[in-house]
Amino acid sequence: MSKQTSTDDLFGQARATEPYFKDQGFVSRVNAKLPMVRKVSAAQESAISVVAAILGCTVAYQFVSINELIALIPNKVTLTPISLLASSGLISGLAYWLAEHKRSY
Amino acid sequence: MVATDQALIERVAAQGCRDSFSTLVERHQSDLRYSLRQMTGWDEALADDLAQETFIKAFQAIASYKSNAKFSSWLYRIAYNQMVSHYRLARNREISGIDETVAKVAERKLGGDYAEHELHQDLARAMQQLPTQQRMVIHLYLHRQLTHQEICTIMQIPLGTVKTCINRGRATLRELLSSWQNEDLA
């Protein structure tokens, strides 16, 4: 018998004799920690957001002149070293969080 | 009639049915807890905590489960990510869970009777000496008998890495488990 075979054999023996772990409260502990189920589905939530946004825009359009809104848009942006540092830090933090969040699934 | 994993998953995804999820947990808890004991040097408390977190993550992300993969494979993937995060945090806090050196594992004396539970624990402790990725690959390949391709999919690593991990892991374990093997060959 080769050494490599005997390493595999040990795993074979472990597989054949793998113990069965009884529940012993494990399932109820998991159940107790499960998050509450959302009563509104993700699709419904998106639909509500879209409808609310359309309503908000309609109301804003009625009460605020479009020219005033356009005038609020900045036409010049000055980047100072501090703001550049802050924005790059924010983007890096966001990218890290997204990567970590994606990885956990 | 016993509901299949797929039917239960659909119920959980559509209605958030907790009873269906409990059935899934009941079905898979033993295998997952055993695998995590193997991954954590047979640290029962840590393995159960990681298993618990794995099931909670699975519940939260059940909508993203794709039916072309086995539910157990998907669980292993979540469990692996949980484990990696745990060890990364532990390393950052400088609290390594490794308390048994290579020499100590190799030194272990065998009892006269071939104690089965001892074998599981010794395997787990020997595996603890491998890097996390190698440990998972070795467990999935040698214990769970998954194919190279299945391991690639679960761990999201290239085929070449899987093969390298298996070869290196085997070589290290050969040294660490020499006492068991010598006994086995005698």
Overall pTM > 0.90: no
Mean of pLDDT values over B65-85: 92
pLDDT of residue B177: 87
Distance CA A85, CA B1 (A): 62
Indicate whether B130 belongs to any domain.
no
B169, pLDDT greater than 60: yes
Distance CA A33, CA B52 (A): 9
Indicate whether B24 belongs to any domain.
yes
Indicate whether B120 belongs to any domain.
no
Which residue is listed with tokens 């532990």? B90
Looking up residue B53, the CATH number of its domain turns out to be 1.10.1740.10
Other Cβ atoms within 10 Å of B176 Cβ, number: 23
Indicate whether B145 belongs to any domain.
no
Tell me if B33 and A38 make a contact (CB, 8 A cut-off). no
Specify whether the backbone of B65 is left (phi greater than 0), alpha (psi in -120 to 50) or beta.
Answer: beta
Residue B185 tokens, joined: 């060959």
pLDDT of residue A103: 58
Indicate whether B41 belongs to any domain.
yes
Distance CA A48, CA B115 (A): 61
pLDDT of residue B119: 87
Structural domain boundaries enclosing B84 = 1-96
Chain B residues lying within 8 Å of A104, measured CB to CB: 57, 78, 81-82, 85
Indicate whether B169 belongs to any domain.
no
Q: For residues A14 and B143, is the Cβ–Cβ distance under 8 A?
A: yes
Indicate whether B50 belongs to any domain.
yes
Task: Note the ipTM here.
Answer: 0.78
Chain B residues lying within 8 Å of A30, measured CB to CB: 22, 25, 52, 55-56
Indicate whether B75 belongs to any domain.
yes
Domain count, chain B: 1
Distance CA B148, CA A81 (A): 50
Mean of pLDDT values over B156-175: 94
